């Protein structure tokens, strides 16, 4: 017992101090909460398996904070802007929890959520429940909009999978193939979505489809799938795996001599780090491009061009730019536009209603919440690129298809793998 007593006492002491600290910080905070500053909450995965989506956060937030340092003047009044960031640890439950913290403790005026359905959906749900405006991005709108009640307070600006499959199909049709499509689709939300839309598309075109079956994410062996693709004489491969699985699959495909004429990979080939890992095998893999340094758009906050924005990151960190940078920056631009459009930026329902009227341009391109494919959705155009080795020795995504937004210049021609 003697050894336990001090621990218990110490524990109670700590508890008491913590309670006191909690009270005093509450007392300190409450006047700030009612003051006329605008608070933006930002939820993204910064650690865990999805950390690659958030790796440019510091740079993006730095740029936004500099641009908003003087505050926002709305209706003759200047509001200081404060940004509170939260990490989801790549976990949906944690995302919901930090969103609740932002709403209840930090009392933010708007919540921004980014990167994968595991972030956007739980955060949007929390905001709907608490009636706090929310803008989300980097989640195909079909996943965000289906299975939830019609949103009032939450909005999404991103591409859609059905649209993307359409663009893929046009690219395939332009190349001479035997019209046999192989589908590598895992047993997850993205996999299901691509299976649904590619199956429908190939039926519409009268093409043959060889599906992989819904394998589990994290599988280490793909030889049976590769055998099936070889047996079916697949010349077009469409895949939506998680990044590590794609590297494993594509290496095993090379070892087992499966080489289709065109390979389009959603999700896994977004990031230059994956292309670097694959090395030569990455050459000419087709991937969707929703943002690139080649976009002819500027930040609506300070006029920075997409190129300068990406270059600043590259020179500051020594890493290659990543697509989420553009859309994460655009979230803040949309939030600022909403503050300006709202009758009273501190009125939550007025602010939420204001987002629905927005139509403008951000560093990521045009957004339009008035005419989306679903309620509260703004559809972004989806372009296609091919990974190619640049003069610098690094792999870069070269835009080869700009049919959905011809204002963005194409940077090369489509090349088949063989």
Q: Measure Cα distances from 418 to 24, 56, 209, 259 in Å.
A: 68, 35, 20, 8
> How would you class 168 by CB atoms within 10 Å of its CB: exposed for 0-12, middle for 13-18, buried for 19 or more?
buried
Instruction: List the interface residues with another protein, window 44-103 (CB under 8 A).
Output: 47-52, 55, 90
Residue 256 in the binding site for another protein (CB under 8 A): yes
C-beta of residue 148 within 8 angstroms of C-beta of residue 121:
yes
Residue 316 in the binding site for another protein (CB under 8 A): no
* DSSP state, residue 215: B
Q: Which of 97, 252, 361, 374 is the binder for another protein (CB under 8 A)?
A: 252
Q: Shortest approach of another protein to residue 345 CB, angstroms?
A: 36
Q: Shortest approach of another protein to residue 399 CB, angstroms?
A: 24
Instruction: Name the H helices within 137-178.
Output: 141-145, 161-173
Judged by CB under 8 A, the stretch of 66-74, 110-118, 226-234, 284-292 that binds another protein is: 226-234
Q: Measure Cα distances from 27 to 80, 239, 373 in Å.
A: 21, 54, 46
Q: Which of 85, 273, 403, 411 is the binder for another protein (CB under 8 A)?
A: 273
The two structure tokens encoding residue 202: 């190939």
- Please name which of 43, 155, 58 lies closest in space to residue 89, comparing C-alpha atoms: 43
Size of the site for another protein (CB under 8 A): 40
- Please name which of 176, 398, 174 lies closest in space to residue 287, comparing C-alpha atoms: 398
Q: Which of 220, 315, 370, 392 is the binder for another protein (CB under 8 A)?
A: 220
Residue 213 in the binding site for another protein (CB under 8 A): yes
Residue 182 in the binding site for another protein (CB under 8 A): no
CA 93 to centroid of chain Cα atoms: 18
Q: Which of 91, 189, 212, 293 is the binder for another protein (CB under 8 A)?
A: 212
Judged by CB under 8 A, the stretch of 117-125, 135-143, 276-284, 396-404 that binds another protein is: 276-284
Binding site for another protein (CB under 8 A): 47-52, 55, 90, 187, 212-216, 218-221, 223-225, 227, 230-231, 243-244, 247-248, 251-252, 254-257, 273-274, 277-279, 281
């Amino acid at each position: 017992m003697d050894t336990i007593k001090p621990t218990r006492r110490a524990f109670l002491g700590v508890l008491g101090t913590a309670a006191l600290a909690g009270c005093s910080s509450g007392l300190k905070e409450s006047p700030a909460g009612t003051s006329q500053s605008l608070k933006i909450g930002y939820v993204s995965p910064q650690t865990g398996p999805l950390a690659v989506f958030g790796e440019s956060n510091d740079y993006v937030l730095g740029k936004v904070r500099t641009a908003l340092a003087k505050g926002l003047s709305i209706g003759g009044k200047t509001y200081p802007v404060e940004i509170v960031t939260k990490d989801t640890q790549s976990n949906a439950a944690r995302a919901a929890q930090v969103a609740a913290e932002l709403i209840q403790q930090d009392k933010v005026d708007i919540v921004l959520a980014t990167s994968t359905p595991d972030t956007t959906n739980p955060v949007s749900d929390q905001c709907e429940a608490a009636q706090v405006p929310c803008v989300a991005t980097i989640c195909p709108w079909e996943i965000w909009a289906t299975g939830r009640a019609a949103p009032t307070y939450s909005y999404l600006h991103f591409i859609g999978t059905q649209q993307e499959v359409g663009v893929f199909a046009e690219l395939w049709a332009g190349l001479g193939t035997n019209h046999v499509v192989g589908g590598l689709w895992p047993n997850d939300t993205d996999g299901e979505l691509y299976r649904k839309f590619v199956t429908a598309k190939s039926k519409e075109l009268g093409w043959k489809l060889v599906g992989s079956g819904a394998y589990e994410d994290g599988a280490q062996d793909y030889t049976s799938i590769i055998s099936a693709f070889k047996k079916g004489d697949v010349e077009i491969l469409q895949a939506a795996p998680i990044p590590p699985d794609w590297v494993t699959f594509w290496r095993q495909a090379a070892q087992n001599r499966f080489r289709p004429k065109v390979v389009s990979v959603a999700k896994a080939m977004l990031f230059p780090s994956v292309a670097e890992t694959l090395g030569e095998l990455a050459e000419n893999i087709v991937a969707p491009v929703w943002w690139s340094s080649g976009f002819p758009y500027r930040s609506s906050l300070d006029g920075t061009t997409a190129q300068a924005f990406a270059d600043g990151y590259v020179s500051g960190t020594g890493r290659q730019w990543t697509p989420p940078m553009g859309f994460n920056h655009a979230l803040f631009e949309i939030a600022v536009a909403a503050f300006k459009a709202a009758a009273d930026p501190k009125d939550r329902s007025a602010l939420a209603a204001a987002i629905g009227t927005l139509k403008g341009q951000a560093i990521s391109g045009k957004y339009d919440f008035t005419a989306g494919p679903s309620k509260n959705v703004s559809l972004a155009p989806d372009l296609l690129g091919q990974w190619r080795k640049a003069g610098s020795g690094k792999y870069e995504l070269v835009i080869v298809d700009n049919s959905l937004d011809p204002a963005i210049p194409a940077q090369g021609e489509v090349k088949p793998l063989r």
